[in-house]
């Protein structure tokens, strides 16, 4: 009897071992091969990860390198404690943090009023200071005026974070700024969206005001400012549904290329592909519409960021839920989708990156080697994504000018992490910022409900 029991035990162990080997082999075969990046001066390893914030919600949306090589991060905070030392109420304020190359705080400052104020983008200006844009509900403290529920708010800072000037633009509805560039004439161009129904058709100047029947819920809204923040002109573009601009750059002909998403199928939108599309709008230096193009499929496709390739072409990134139209190689719920267009808006190529869950790209930065760093977030653990650590992980990739992946990394904890901004430093390191809710695995600590996170890759 003992003999047969031993034989049975050996058979069970053998079958179990074979199953484990088989399962391990199957899982491994589903994962993409891991290889070091073929990028000069960058080995793709994490140098350090830091979180900052207090006991409430804190978020980073944008990062730039300061003139002295330190890192400047912009976002918003609702905290009154921890790393936030100059707030007295739990409403959201613009938050700007300066860190050393080692991730130590140099200074931390908040800006806003008693309403909800959230920064979306920061840029380094030619004088060594910064321009900061987002949206504001305030009309007190740092904010001089508010025209409605939310206004564009632009703040000009000097190199040590002191306000030099601030301006608000808006109407009675929800008007939000998402991006800004400094122009070749030392002025600024701000983009976002206008609630044109609440503005009663106003927002197109200096040309004649539009008839309210021309457009609908939300419009791309571009505003050209001079060096002191005084408005030179403003124009909106869109149709009768939701159209929102998330990024902009000045083109080689001194015009502007705004990108985002469009739900409309009429008026300025002439080639809708589906529910929501990537939408690109090109205007000249005076704000006159030159062309507009839609890209996507029958489902929801949203463009969040763009970069110039340097040869008159542009790469736009975001996410796509489509598997038809312009979208090929769809992998799952939503993929990080990127397209390249030429200066006339012609689609040159498109690529999908992701797995069977939700994956997106939120920021793109052209590197010194001519490649492109992209950050976003991922819930996948298959396809192009080797591993998922928690609910949502930071997703970081570097692609070449053809959209081919050169390097990729996911990191996070057991809760949710979201990548929002990225850049390459002058010494060829990659900096990624966003927000984190974890305190385990890759994430060293959590100070509250949601923290600002910064990751340095060397």
More confident residue, 39 or 7: 39
CATH number at residue 111: 2.130.10.10
In a domain, 277, yes or no: yes
Mean pLDDT of 45-60: 98
Mean pLDDT of 304-332: 97
pLDDT of residue 353: 98
pLDDT of residue 216: 76
Q: Where does the pLDDT of residue 12 fall: very low under 50, low under 70, confident under 90, or very high at 90 and above?
A: very low
In a domain, 64, yes or no: yes
Q: Where does the pLDDT of residue 214 fall: very low under 50, low under 70, confident under 90, or very high at 90 and above?
A: low
pLDDT of residue 36: 59
Question: What kind and span of H or E run contains 163?
Answer: strand 163-169
Q: How far is residue 395's CA from residue 244's CA, in Å, rounded to a whole number?
A: 24
Q: How far is residue 433's CA from residue 30's CA, in Å, rounded to a whole number?
A: 29
More confident residue, 7 or 334: 334
- Model confidence over 330-353: pLDDT tens digits? 999 999 999 999 999 999 999 999
Question: pLDDT exceeding 70 applies to what percent of the chain?
Answer: 90
Sign of the Cα torsion 290, 295, 299, 305 reads: negative
Q: CA distances (Å), 414 to each of 59, 387, 389, 419, 446, in order?
A: 18, 12, 6, 15, 12
In a domain, 336, yes or no: yes
pLDDT at 211 over 70: no
Mean pLDDT of 77-102: 97
CB neighbours of 18 closer than 8 A, spacing ≥ 6?
Answer: none
Calculate ∠ Cα 93-99-103, nearest 5°: 120
In a domain, 5, yes or no: no
Cis peptide before 130 (omega within 30 of 0): no
Domain carrying residue 242? 42-457
In a domain, 386, yes or no: yes
- Model confidence over 338-394: pLDDT tens digits? 999 999 999 999 999 999 999 999 999 999 999 999 999 999 999 999 999 999 999
- Model confidence over 395-447: pLDDT tens digits? 999 999 999 999 999 999 999 999 999 999 999 999 999 999 999 999 999 99
- Model confidence over 233-285: pLDDT tens digits? 999 999 999 999 999 999 999 999 999 999 999 999 999 999 999 999 999 99
pLDDT at 62 over 60: yes
pLDDT at 309 over 50: yes
Instruction: Give the residue among 9, 18, 47 at the shortest CA–CA distance from 428.
Output: 47
Average predicted confidence (pLDDT) for the chain: 91
Q: How far is residue 208's CA from residue 226's CA, in Å, rounded to a whole number?
A: 21
Mean pLDDT of 147-168: 98
pTM for this entry:
0.91
Instruction: Give the residue among 130, 132, 136, 171 at the shortest CA–CA distance from 152.
Output: 136
pLDDT at 14 over 60: no
Q: CA distances (Å), 232 to each of 1, 49, 204, 224, 397, in order?
A: 95, 42, 11, 5, 38
pLDDT at 6 over 80: no
In a domain, 11, yes or no: no
Counted domains in the chain = 1
In a domain, 7, yes or no: no
pLDDT of residue 8: 35
Q: Where does the pLDDT of residue 25 fall: very low under 50, low under 70, confident under 90, or very high at 90 and above?
A: very low
In a domain, 27, yes or no: no
């Amino acid at each position: 009897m003992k003999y047969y029991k031993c034989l049975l035990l050996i058979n069970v162990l053998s079958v179990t071992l074979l199953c484990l080997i088989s399962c391990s082999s199957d899982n491994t075969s589903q994962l993409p091969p891991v290889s070091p990046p073929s990028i000069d001066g960058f080995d793709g390893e994490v140098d350090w990860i830091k979180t900052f914030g207090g006991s409430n919600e804190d978020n980073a949306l944008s990062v730039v390198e300061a003139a002295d090589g330190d890192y400047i991060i912009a976002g918003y905070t609702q905290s009154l404690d921890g790393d936030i030392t100059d707030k007295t109420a739990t409403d959201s304020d613009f938050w700007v943090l300066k860190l050393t190359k080692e991730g130590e705080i140099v200074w931390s400052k908040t800006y806003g009023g008693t309403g909800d104020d959230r920064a979306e983008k920061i840029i380094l200006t030619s004088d060594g200071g910064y321009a900061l844009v987002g949206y504001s509900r305030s009309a007190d403290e740092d904010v001089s005026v508010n025209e409605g529920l939310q206004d564009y708010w632009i703040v000009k800072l000097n190199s040590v974070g002191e306000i030099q000037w601030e301006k608000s633009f808006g109407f009675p509805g929800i008007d939000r700024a998402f991006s800004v560039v400094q122009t070749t004439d030392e002025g600024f161009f701000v983009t976002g969206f206008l609630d044109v129904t609440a503005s009663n058709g106003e927002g197109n100047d200096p040309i004649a005001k539009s008839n309210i029947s021309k457009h609908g819920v939300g419009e791309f809204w571009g505003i050209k400012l001079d060096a002191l923040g005084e408005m030179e002109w403003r124009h909106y573009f869109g149709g009768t549904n939701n159209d929102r601009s998330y990024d902009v750059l000045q083109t080689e002909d001194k015009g502007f290329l705004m990108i985002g998403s469009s739900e409309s199928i009429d008026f300025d939108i002439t080639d809708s592909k589906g529910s929501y599309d990537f939408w690109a709008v090109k205007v000249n230096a005076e704000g006159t519409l030159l062309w507009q193009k839609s890209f996507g499929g029958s489902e929801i496709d949203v463009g969040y960021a763009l970069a110039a390739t340097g040869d008159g072409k542009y790469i736009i990134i975001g996410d796509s839920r489509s598997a038809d139209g312009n979208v090929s190689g769809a992998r799952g719920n939503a993929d990080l989708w990127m397209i390249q267009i030429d200066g006339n808006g012609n689609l040159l190529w498109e690529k999908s990156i992701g797995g069977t869950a939700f994956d997106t790209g939120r920021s793109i930065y052209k590197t010194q080697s001519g490649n492109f760093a992209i950050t976003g977030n991922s819930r996948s653990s298959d396809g192009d994504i080797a591993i998922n650590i928690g609910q949502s992980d930071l997703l970081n990739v570097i692609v070449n000018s053809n959209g081919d992946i050169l390097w990729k990394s996911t990191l996070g904890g057991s809760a949710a992490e979201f990548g929002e901004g990225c850049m390459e430093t002058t010494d060829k390191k990659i900096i990624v910022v966003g927000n984190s809710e974890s305190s385990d695995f890759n994430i060293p600590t959590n100070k509250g409900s949601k923290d600002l996170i910064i990751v340095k890759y060397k």
